[in-house]
Structure 1
Amino acid sequence: MSSARPEPLSLTSALVRLTREKPVTQADLDMAALFTLDALANSLAGRNSAPGRILLKWFDGNSAANVAPDPGRMAFLLGGLCHILETDDLHRESVVHPGCVVVPAAYALAAKYGKGGRELLTAILHGFEAAARVGMAVGPEHYRIWHNTATCGPFGAAMAAAALLDLDDEAAINALGNAGSQSSGLWQFLETGAMTKHLHAGHAAEAGVRAGELAALGFTGPARILEGEKGFFRAACPDADPDAVTRNPDAPWQLVRTSIKPWPSCRHTHPTIDAGEELRARLTRDGVSLDQIAEIVVETYQAALDVCDRPVAASDYEAKFSLQHSIAAALICEQVNFDAFGEKARADCAGLAAKVRVLRADPWASAYPASWGGRVTIRLASGETLHAERTNAKGDPEAPLSKQDMIAKAKMLLTHGKVAEPDRLIDAILDMATGGETPALNLF
């Protein structure tokens, strides 16, 4: 007599189980608080921008007076704001910016339902885990057309929502299924520098919140949204690696494998900026004028070329997605800050940027996405060459920012966002790791 073989777990089922079985230490909560600080500081700073002002006008115009904001719409607003200035975090192996999706979703729900700081931070660990693990499985071809933050982010937002809404495993699977069915976000906006990228983060955050809230009421979703015959991988991931969703279950939380940006530009430009700052110091030390530079060669990986090969940058936003401008700015500007991508800096850097040649080269091409590196070579008119290379960029787990660096970055962002008493908000966010309450944000 034969017995029926049990049906294997769906990938979302296995992901829920894996995530909920991972232990959470005090060190994990401390790190989650720093990443939460980074994301919320980015959201508040993003208000001080043209797209940010549009998002705030939209939100304010659709809000009822004296009524607590709907968490889905709040998540959309915070997510959109967080992704504007190009200073939010990045998980390299998945090419996902988890913070701009997971933190807004989790914060909006924690604020509405009165969840404490440690509950919020635990949910954020869960959300980063889901977004990153799905992102690691989509394969490199997906990223050529689809924006991974937009397509994988909803899974992270839903996982965070499941934790904060106390969903059982079945309801959490429903939430991930319906969040994944809303995955969307195309790179077409890069051709014109449209504001669409901010919409991607906001939609992904809101999709996870909605899916979680509906699952709490019994709204069902597809368990095999990832691997099904009409699921996400089949539809949008020609070289998917489904096993990556659950590979290495005992690895550290993916949040601690996430990079923090020190410069306000696309992460693909950061190895180049990092190397460029080293070369600027060497040129200054040796008394070499930038006028003596005949050519600059940037060697990197294919994804950096796909997204950031932009010889002429006509706006701040295009400059943030230009390897050519970024290396010129690193060599010319004393600090690669917001001003380094502005109109004056673009004019100052244009001549040097025109001398830049970018190309795909190993070992950086083969090492991507586990490692995001590159080399910059400067050829002087005399024939002398100088070069600097990075296996990883500043802010990666292998070259991390210190706690004080991250606090200083947050203070810079909050000051840019015209936040009153930034130190008080920083302390309140970090105190969540040791039992503090979820702090209120004043967005208007």
Structure 2
Amino acid sequence: MSKTAKAAENLPDSLTAGLTRLIRQKPVGPRDLDMAALFVLDAVANILGGRNSEPGRTLLAWWNEALSGNSGADAGRWAFLMGALCHILETDDLHRTSVVHPGCVVVPAAWALAARPGAEVDGPAFLTAVLHGFEAATRVGMAVGAAHYKIWHNTATCGPFGSAMAGAHLLGLSEAETVHALGNAGSQSSGLWQFLETGAMTKHLHAGHAAEAGLRAAELAKVGFTGPPKILEGEKGFFRAACPDAKPEAVLADAGAPWQLTLTSIKPWPSCRHTHPAIDAAGGLRARLKAAGTTAEDVVKVEADVYQAAIDVCDRPSPDTDYDAKFSLQHAVAVALLRDKVDFEAFGPEERDHARALAARVELRAAQPYDGAYPISWGSAVRVHLKSGEVLEETRKSAKGDPEAPLARDEMIEKAAMLMRHGGIAAPDRLIEDILALAQPGSALPVLDIV
């Protein structure tokens, strides 16, 4: 055994070591694999759909220019591209209590490794890696504390732990090697919310970097490259540096809970997840207003009770771009009151102009029980005040797509097909079937033609 290998086996106990053991001791059942396949389907659909966007076309142009010579792309670069594409349309999954989008980081990293030439990875092994990655990213995310999210983008900072953990499973890393991988993944944690001020494309970079960083850390650990075991709890570690109210005990809490992937939400609408409870409530009001023959002209005021984090991220009374509109509670509530379907077009220039007057009458406030229930529950109440003096209200304790209000399997498949067609896949049925079949022993990843 080399000196590096010997040193690797004599590591101090740490949160990352405990996390590695916790994850690898959790049993994986058939339902877990079936759920993982659905989440992989959602991520792949978002990757393909993300190509049909300005940031997507920019990423693909960069990719094609960078690989115009004889060099091929390695797994890390593939993970970066897929991760960035996956996080563009704002329709990828979200784990509520960690406020992490695990799919856009973990699935690209796992796919890039499993699809390497010569890799012998069947569907269940791949899906198990995805389960491991979701678990690591979200457990770290549940420990960072609320103050972290005010400045740091949790998907970017916690995501590398997920891609590293998925990579560790696929590369067959030992416990010590996995601890090194997690240490170096955490040392690359980064991603700030500053991009929101100008609507820059940075958010997509966050997902791509998180996917590549963790994958690269796992690859390096495989050949003996060491990392800091106490990257989370150390005096100069992640929690001390970026998490003023960190809860380190949350990393290993409730070890017997279901896989965190099964507690992750699927987004039905193409906007920031913080807007979804209010969209759902406003949609309920639209149905009642239509039945009564009431129009937007009859609405004097709209009140939306939400939680403070939703206001912090999504208070944009008059958005000027598609991307700003996806992060505007005012616009989201207005279009849900004006349209039967909140789709990609609902955030485009025509609908922004159409909804602007009503959006200006939407008032936001952090209110109970929603503020106190967050992040365990993401809820909202929406009230419309009519010229007649009547006030109508709809409340949502949880957002549609949450574990308490899940999308049906057929709805998830329908969403995936829509995203794939949006991304240029005219006949997506076969690809959908092949991805869902990954839960079966002996299955293999289908070919994914991205570029």
User: Residues of 1 paired with 2:168 and 2:392: CA distance?
Assistant: 52
Instruction: List per-residue Cα deviations over 1:142-163 (Å, max 9, x = no partner).
Output: 0000000000000000000000
User: Residues of 2 paired with 1:63 and 1:123: CA distance?
Assistant: 29
What corresponds to 2:282 in structure 1? 276
What corresponds to 1:21 in structure 2? 25
Of residues 282, 291, 307 in structure 1, which corresponds to 2:297?
291
State the 1:61 CA deviation. Answer: 1.5
User: Residues of 1 paired with 2:436 and 2:380: CA distance?
Assistant: 34
Of residues 308, 331, 335 in structure 2, which corresponds to 1:329?
335
- Rate the CA distance shift 1:115–1:49 in 2: closer, same or farther, 3 A: same
- Which aligned pairs between 1:398-409 and structure 2 lie closer than 5 A? 398-409=404-415
Identity %: 63
State the 1:287 CA deviation. Answer: 1.2
Paired AA for residue 368 in structure 1: Y
Instruction: List per-residue Cα deviations over 1:238-271 (Å, max 9, x = no partner).
Output: 0000000000000000000000000000000000
- Which aligned pairs between 1:311-322 and structure 2 lie closer than 5 A? 311-322=317-328
State the 1:334 CA deviation. Answer: 2.0
Of residues 61, 64, 82 in structure 2, which corresponds to 1:57?
61
Count of residue pairs brought into register by the alignment = 439
The 8 Å contact of residues 283 and 340 in structure 2, kept in 1 or not, is answered as no
Paired AA for residue 97 in structure 2: E
- Which aligned pairs between 1:121-200 and structure 2 lie closer than 5 A? 121-200=127-206
Larger mean Cα displacement after TM superposition, 420-429 or 184-193: 420-429
User: Residues of 1 paired with 2:47 and 2:71: CA distance?
Assistant: 22
What corresponds to 2:79 in structure 1? 75
Paired AA for residue 263 in structure 1: W
User: Residues of 2 paired with 1:143 and 1:308: CA distance?
Assistant: 14
Paired AA for residue 55 in structure 2: P
2:232 aligned with 1:226, yes or no?
A: yes
- Which aligned pairs between 1:202-217 and structure 2 lie closer than 5 A? 202-217=208-223
Mark the runs of 5 or more structure 1 residues left unpaired by the alignment: 1-5
The 8 Å contact of residues 106 and 166 in structure 2, kept in 1 or not, is answered as yes
Of residues 433, 440, 443 in structure 1, which corresponds to 2:447?
440
TM-score, scaled to structure 2: 0.96
Instruction: List per-residue Cα deviations over 1:7-59 (Å, max 9, x = no partner).
Output: 97200000000000000001000000000000010000000000001111111
Paired AA for residue 301 in structure 2: E
Of residues 47, 60, 63 in structure 2, which corresponds to 1:43?
47
SS in 2 for 1:358: strand
State the 1:289 CA deviation. Answer: 1.7
Paired AA for residue 332 in structure 2: S
What corresponds to 1:101 in structure 2? 105
Instruction: List per-residue Cα deviations over 1:208-239 (Å, max 9, x = no partner).
Output: 11000000000000000000000000000000
What corresponds to 2:397 in structure 1? 391
Instruction: List per-residue Cα deviations over 1:96-125 (Å, max 9, x = no partner).
Output: 000000000000000012422111100000
What corresponds to 1:345 in structure 2? 351
User: Residues of 1 paired with 2:58 and 2:74: CA distance?
Assistant: 19
2:133 aligned with 1:111, yes or no?
A: no
State the 1:290 CA deviation. Answer: 1.5
What corresponds to 1:33 in structure 2? 37
SS in 1 for 2:337: helix
Cα RMSD for the two superposed structures: 1.2
User: Residues of 1 paired with 2:296 and 2:62: CA distance?
Assistant: 46
What corresponds to 2:89 in structure 1? 85
SS in 2 for 1:317: helix
User: Residues of 2 paired with 1:70 and 1:63: CA distance?
Assistant: 11
Instruction: List per-residue Cα deviations over 1:159-218 (Å, max 9, x = no partner).
Output: 000000000100000000000000000000000100000000000000011000000000
User: Residues of 1 paired with 2:394 and 2:69: CA distance?
Assistant: 56
- Rate the CA distance shift 1:67–1:442 in 2: closer, same or farther, 3 A: farther
What corresponds to 2:4 in structure 1? none
Of residues 361, 368, 376 in structure 1, which corresponds to 2:374?
368
State the 1:67 CA deviation. Answer: 5.9
SS in 1 for 2:142: helix
Paired AA for residue 96 in structure 1: V
Instruction: List per-residue Cα deviations over 1:321-369 (Å, max 9, x = no partner).
Output: 0000000010111210000000000010001001000011111001000
SS in 1 for 2:115: helix
- Which aligned pairs between 1:400-419 and structure 2 lie closer than 5 A? 400-419=406-425
User: Residues of 2 paired with 1:107 and 1:405: CA distance?
Assistant: 24
Larger mean Cα displacement after TM superposition, 66-75 or 186-195: 66-75
Larger mean Cα displacement after TM superposition, 287-296 or 259-268: 287-296
User: Residues of 1 paired with 2:156 and 2:46: CA distance?
Assistant: 17
Larger mean Cα displacement after TM superposition, 45-54 or 418-427: 418-427
- Rate the CA distance shift 1:64–1:114 in 2: closer, same or farther, 3 A: farther
TM-score, scaled to structure 1: 0.97
What corresponds to 2:3 in structure 1? none
